[in-house]
Amino acid sequence: MRIVDLRCAVIGKNPIVRVVSDQGLSGYGEVEQYKPYLKPYVLQFREALIGEDPTLVERVMLKIRQRGAFKPYGAAISAIEMALWDLAGKAAGLPVHRLLGGKIRDRVRVYNGALRKPVASQTPEAYAAEVRRMAALPEGFTIVKQAISFHSPMKREVGGYYYGEPSPSPFHGALDRGPMTERGLRLTIDCVAAMKQALGDRVGLALDCGPGWMLSDAIRFARAVEPFNLMWIEDTLTGDYVPFVNADVYRELTRSTTTPIHTGEQIYLRQNFKDLIETKAVRVVGPDPCDVGGIAELKWIAEYADLHGVMMAPHGTGNGLLGLAALVQVCATLPHNFIAFEYPVGDPAWWYDIVDGLPDPIVRDGHILVGDRPGMGVEIDPERAARYLTPEDAGFFA
């Protein structure tokens, strides 16, 4: 089998990658949402892939892996990697989890992810109401994650929240950063207390906190919320769209508290998790398969983290339905340090009409069943999807 084409089309909000073989089979991968600008970045690898055997995934990836970078520029490489696995699975007539060593669980735990909504106001009562809503969703989540502090409007809507000025950057992930005021820290702690009172001990609570915190404030916060037994606090110091890790600083935070510290969604490749894991700088790592270099890269990181006593909770909010399928496949194979992954949804909603193979309902009792269809287990229906192609991408399914 040989690759004869690499194509990319923006369908809805996500660039979709198609690797075409000479035997009539294709593999598909999905770039994280809101990145149409990465389409030409994907297509630059076309000539490098043509003529290669797509079932030799690692051999193909060695040609292009060094051309990626921290979020968002690992996304193109990651989508190609997942498309290769999809094609390799279809060629073998096996689900991808079989090619990755086989599943060790028949269902994978997920948390609310893309089903999170903005809170009505920056008050403890509003935060409690939102986690109550999430816990009552028909998906039956056993863990919910809530954005708070520097990962929420709190940093700009609450007067005197921190000693600093909002970033003038127009881009998502603009880094607002500065020392917390006593008022801001107290409000954040009060919101956490209200959320835990609303959830009790039947649903775990994780917090998406930044980045933006100073180390001293993060230490105070992590210690103050210890009585609430949080699943983790995420990306306090670095994180979303921050192109560095600062493992030594994270280690100071982790060593100061029993609250689990989590980071990793923006990180590209295993090498950039090395210090976080080997120095036990965090208790939980959260690579995103759509940014880290793909699902085999994520599995390697999970295995290495497990050897060092570090837990795994992959990111996945904007990964779409193809990304969801990839997360199910790889998370079924992860060791016992796996907690749950962040649940992505189809956006716009018509995505559910053009993808076949998803379970119905997708999530039951906070879990997704692991299927045995070949490849990633889902397929885009070309006829139904064609109506959403732009004229520029009209030949994507040809």
Domains and CATH numbers, the chain: 3-93+381-393 (3.30.390.10), 99-376 (3.20.20.120)
Are 235 and 151 within 8 A, CB to CB? yes
- Mean pLDDT of all residues in the chain? 97
Per-residue pLDDT, averaged over 377-388, amounts to 97
For residue 34, the model assigns a pLDDT of 85
Interatomic CA distance for residues 265 and 46, integer angstroms: 27
Interatomic CA distance for residues 203 and 223, integer angstroms: 21
Interatomic CA distance for residues 242 and 204, integer angstroms: 27
Q: Which residues contact 321 (CB under 8 A, 6 or more apart)?
A: 30, 344, 345, 346, 351, 352, 355, 358, 378
Are 67 and 361 within 8 A, CB to CB? no
For residue 70, the model assigns a pLDDT of 97
Task: Examine the pLDDT at 320 and tell me if it is beyond 90.
Answer: yes
pLDDT digits (tens, 9 = 90+) for 189-222: 999 999 999 999 999 999 999 999 999 999 999 9
Task: Examine the pLDDT at 306 and tell me if it is beyond 90.
Answer: yes
**pLDDT bracket for residue 312 (50, 70, 90):** very high
To the nearest whole percent, how much of the chain has pLDDT over 90? 97
Quote the tokens at residue 184: 């801001």
What pTM was computed for the model? 0.97
pLDDT digits (tens, 9 = 90+) for 102-145: 999 999 999 999 999 999 999 999 999 999 999 999 999 999 99
- Between 13 and 333, the more confident residue is 333
Task: Examine the pLDDT at 174 and tell me if it is beyond 90.
Answer: no
> Which neighbouring-strand residues pair with 148?
none
